[in-house]
């Protein structure tokens, strides 16, 4: 039993890398989702085109290919990235593209009367967005954002293939050293599931917190 403690430690070290990746990737994804999602609703056609191109490109190519591109091809153009940077970049940009459609959908689903209210209150576009539209739209985005964060967590397993020591990578190390396959893989499956449960629990809590003031406004 003593030897397993050491191997379990390895897997926990990997879990920390996975959690780091998930948090940093989600932060980048959130920023990109709002930039591209609002970009698609812009008044200026070039901004709309740029946002659409970003979304279609990152949704259209596989996350795996994007990661390899970031890690192996970008250095040839002079941008050398560490595996962690490449991982965060690829995961954040990929999931951000999915999130952008969520942002756009949520903002478009806000009723016309809310926009008329912005005009009636003499808010400019930014004020209307900030004080009236986004507080309502953000609540609609949250559940899907939660799903996207779980997708990002799952996609983060791919970084083990560019030699970043995340949970999946460490499980492979343990497998190579002990010859046991069931224990390490079952352990990380359970850990991934536990992290996914924490994410969906946290998002549900946040949703309850944010909708508290909106009772009776939304049906």
Partner 1 sequence: MEWDWAFVIQILPTLIEGAKITILATLLGSIVAAIIGLVIAIVRRSKNRLISMPMGFVAEFIRGTPLLVQLYFIFYVLPDLGITLSPLVAGVIGLGLHYGTYTAEVYRAGIDNVARGQWEASKACNLSARQAWTQIILPQALPPMIPALANYFIAMFKETPLLSAITVLELMNQARSIANYNYRYIEPITLVGAFFLVISLISVFGLRWLERRYGRID
C-beta of residue 40 within 8 angstroms of C-beta of residue 104: yes
Nearest distance from C-beta of residue 129 to partner 1, angstroms: 28
Site residues (vs partner 1, CB under 8 A): 56-57, 59-66, 68-69, 72-73, 76-77, 150, 153-158, 160-161, 168, 171-172, 175, 181-182, 185-186, 188-189, 192-193, 196-197
C-beta of residue 58 within 8 angstroms of C-beta of residue 97: yes
Rounded distance between C-alpha atoms, residue 94 and residue 156, angstroms: 11
Nearest distance from C-beta of residue 194 to partner 1, angstroms: 9
Give 26 or 172: the residue with its C-beta nearer to partner 1: 172
Kindly report the backbone phi and psi dihedral angles of residue 215, in degrees, each rounded to the nearest multiple of 5, phi listed first. Answer: -55, 135
Give 133 or 155: the residue with its C-beta nearer to partner 1: 155
Nearest distance from C-beta of residue 135 to partner 1, angstroms: 29
Nearest distance from C-beta of residue 132 to partner 1, angstroms: 32
Rounded distance between C-alpha atoms, residue 33 and residue 110, angstroms: 18
Nearest distance from C-beta of residue 52 to partner 1, angstroms: 12
Give 8 or 117: the residue with its C-beta nearer to partner 1: 8
Write down the residue that tokens 């085109």 correspond to. 49
How many Cβ atoms are within 10 Å of 175's Cβ, its own excluded? 16
H or E stretch covering 133: none
Give 85 or 211: the residue with its C-beta nearer to partner 1: 85
* Structure-token pair, residue 112: 């016309």
Strand partners, 218: 215
Give 161 or 210: the residue with its C-beta nearer to partner 1: 161
């Amino acid at each position: 039993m003593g030897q397993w403690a050491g191997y379990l430690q390895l897997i926990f070290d990997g879990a920390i890398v996975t959690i780091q990746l998930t948090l940093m990737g989600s932060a980048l994804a959130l920023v990109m989702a709002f930039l591209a999602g609002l970009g698609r609703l812009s008044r200026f056609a070039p901004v709309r085109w740029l946002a659409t191109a970003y979304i279609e490109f990152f949704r259209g190519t596989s996350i795996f290919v994007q990661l390899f591109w970031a890690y192996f091809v970008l250095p040839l153009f002079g941008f050398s990235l560490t595996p962690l940077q490449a991982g965060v970049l690829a995961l954040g940009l990929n999931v951000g593209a999915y999130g952008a459609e969520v942002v756009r959908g949520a903002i478009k689903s806000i009723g016309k009367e809310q926009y008329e209210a912005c005009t009636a209150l003499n808010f400019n576009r930014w004020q209307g967005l900030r004080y009236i539209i986004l507080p309502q739209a953000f609540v609609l985005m949250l559940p899907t954002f939660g799903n996207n964060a779980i997708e990002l967590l799952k996609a983060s397993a791919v970084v083990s293939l560019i030699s970043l020591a995340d949970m999946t990578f460490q499980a492979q190390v343990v497998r190579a050293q002990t010859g046991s396959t069931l224990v390490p893989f079952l352990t990380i499956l359970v850990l991934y599931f536990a992290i996914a449960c924490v994410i969906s629990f946290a998002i549900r809590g946040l949703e309850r917190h944010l909708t508290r003031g909106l009772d009776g406004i939304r049906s």
